[in-house]
Amino acid sequence: MARGDVFVSYCTKTDRDAAYDLVWQVEAHGIECWIAPRDVQGGTEWAAEIVNAITVCKVMVLIFSPSANESPQVRREVMLAMHRGVRIVPFRIAQVAPSASLEYYLGGHQWLDAFPPPMEPHYLQLCRCLNTLLATPTSPLPALGDAWLRVEAGPKSTHPRLTIEAGNLRRLESALAVYIGPFAEIAVHRAAAAAPSVDALLQELGGEIDSETDRRKFISGCRWLRPAE
pLDDT in tens, 66-80: 999 999 999 999 988
User: Nearest-CA neighbor of 113 among 96, 99, 88?
Assistant: 96
CATH topology of domain 3-134: Rossmann fold (3.40.50)
Residue 63 banded pLDDT, cuts 50, 70, 90: very high
Domain assignments of the chain as residue spans, ordered by start? 3-134, 146-225
Cβ-Cβ contacts under 8 Å for 209 (sequence gap 6 or more): 72, 176, 179, 180, 215, 218
The mean pLDDT of the chain is 85
Q: Would you say residue 89 has pLDDT above 50?
A: yes
Q: What is the mean pLDDT of residues 16-29?
A: 97
User: Nearest-CA neighbor of 74 among 111, 148, 19, 26?
Assistant: 19
- pTM, to two decimals: 0.72
Cα dihedral 98, 99, 102, 104, rounded to 10, equals 100
Q: Please give the residue that has the higher pLDDT: either 127 or 42.
A: 127
Q: Please give the residue that has the higher pLDDT: either 3 or 207.
A: 207
User: Nearest-CA neighbor of 19 among 33, 29, 3, 5?
Assistant: 33
Q: How far apart are CA 89 and CA 51, in angstroms?
A: 18
- What pLDDT digit, counting tens, does each position of 190-213 carry? 888 888 888 988 998 998 888 889
pLDDT at 2: 58
Q: Please give the residue that has the higher pLDDT: either 152 or 110.
A: 110
